[in-house]
Structure 1
Amino acid sequence: MQTPSLAEMQAIIHRGVPLAGAWGVEVISAADGVAVVRLPAQPLLLRPGNTVSGPALMGLADVAMWAALLSVTGGKDESVTSSMTVNFLRPAGSGPVLAEARIVKRGRRMVFGDIMLRAEGSDAIAVHVTTTWAVIAP
């Protein structure tokens, strides 16, 4: 099964989650169940305190996990988020945010993932997410 190019994967994500397209989410890398996506800086996504809002960070984490899944399914995946636990560790700041998603375990019916979010240019983790997805058979 061939992994789609980054441009193809980004197009799949923007079609499947139009909000990701509206936010300008970019797929930076995706292969072997690991993906990095980038949320560009946008004043619309900020909350009081001049930091990226929780809803935007949770959406970015969810899209990053889908990119990780698409990297192992040849770009065809209709799995859905079943649960998400979000731990906000520090503000992500007002600039671009990177999310790195990793498939921890992929079963026939469930997929477990781990996502770390950080401000671009920083090594400090701002948000840690664990997620479970239900596999939808094509």
Structure 2
Amino acid sequence: MKVTFEELKFFLEEQFPQGAAYGALEALGEGWAEMTLAVEDDHLRPGGTVSGPAMMALADVTMYAALLSRIGLVPLAVTTNLNINFLRKPVAHAPIRARATLLKVGRTMGVGEVFVYSDGMEDPVAHSTMTYSIPPEKYQN
């Protein structure tokens, strides 16, 4: 792993402070990450379900964490494609958690998938695939 859990947590707090609104880093490994979002009223949409943007944000920042575990602290690695399928209604006010796994990492791109779960439910509530652009070394750090 190119970055430790503690290093990534500090990096996200310092360089991506708005990310705290999207979830908290819970676990990190070589090419994978897990994050949790405490669902608040701000995350709900009419009908009492967690909004799509809240689930997408959690999935995106979780994939970012997984990618950084592999490539190191590269602030300019950015999402170039995000596809998400909402599979079932999450439990309102229950935390949602995401697990991102990298499928492939090259010199200029990383591709992975994220499953989003709602506490109290066994099956995933969303599944996402993402592509990240990795900048050339001269633009890293």
TM-score when normalising by structure 2: 0.87
1:13-60 per-residue CA deviation (whole Å, 9 max, x = no partner) reads 233433322x26211111111111000121111111111100111011
Which blocks of at least 5 consecutive residues in structure 2 are unaligned? none
Does residue 66 of structure 2 align to residue 82 of structure 1?
Answer: no
Runs of at least 4 residues off by over 4 Å: none
Shift of 1:70: 1.7
Q: Which residue of 2 aligns with 1:13?
A: 12
1:85-106 per-residue CA deviation (whole Å, 9 max, x = no partner) reads 1101111222100010000000
Q: Which residue of 1 aligns with 2:25?
A: 27
Distance change (3 Å), C-alpha of 1:110 and 1:24: closer
CA contact (8 A) 1:34 1:68 kept: yes
CA contact (8 A) 2:110 2:133 kept: yes
Which blocks of at least 5 consecutive residues in structure 1 are unaligned? none
In structure 1, distance between residues paired with 2:49 and 2:106? 36
Q: Which residue of 1 aligns with 2:4?
A: 4
Q: Secondary structure in 2 aligned to 1:125?
A: coil
1:77-127 per-residue CA deviation (whole Å, 9 max, x = no partner) reads 531100011101111222100010000000111111100001024221100
- Residue pairs, 1:1-138, within 5 angstroms: 2-5=2-5, 7-21=6-20, 23=21, 25-94=23-92, 95-137=94-136, 138=140
When the two chains are superposed, the root-mean-square deviation of aligned CA atoms in Å is 1.7
| Matched pairs, number | 136
Which residue identity is paired with 1:52? V
The alignment-based identity, stated in percent, is: 34
In structure 2, distance between residues paired with 1:57 and 1:113? 16
In structure 2, distance between residues paired with 1:75 and 1:4? 10
Which residue identity is paired with 2:26? I
CA contact (8 A) 2:105 2:111 kept: yes
Which residue identity is paired with 1:4? T
In structure 2, distance between residues paired with 1:81 and 1:98? 20
